[in-house]
Amino acid sequence: MPDNTEARIKQDLFAEIQNLEQNYRVIKSFLSGKDYDAIAIGGAIQAFKDSLSRASAFVLALYNLKGKRVSIPWEPLFTSLDYALATFAVSPAPKQKAAVKTILSMSEEQIEQVLSYFSALKESLK
């Protein structure tokens, strides 16, 4: 049963990493200057955050199955994503996208580090 559980977790983790990559392409494109409406970019940010949360849970589950402990060091990234999402709710419409772009730009290096980690993990899952 543990082998089946581990295989299922790895399969789910692989799918979440693909979701992360897909949503990051939208975020990266937005940061590069492509014009998205607030709903589209907000949706991509929320989907990225949700996928990151699920992927983190799968990583923790895999380590727990092997009797190891791991810490997830990207908690500040979750906070930045929350700020970006909250900006849509509190900023006036004309300034929303510029404010969100600023928040995401400040987090871009951290996002790319997380994606680099998950990309390497994805390769090991194949």
Q: What CATH number did the domain enclosing 71 receive? A: 1.20.120
pTM, two decimals, is 0.92
Q: Based on the structure, what is the number of domains in the chain?
A: 1
Quote the domain boundaries for residue 24: 2-125
Give the C-alpha separation, 13 to 5, whole Å: 12
User: Smallest Cα–Cα separation from 78: which of 50, 106, 41?
Assistant: 50
Q: Which range, of 3-7, 82-86, 112-116, averages the lowest pLDDT? A: 3-7
Task: Name the pLDDT band for 126 (thresholds 50, 70, 90).
Answer: confident
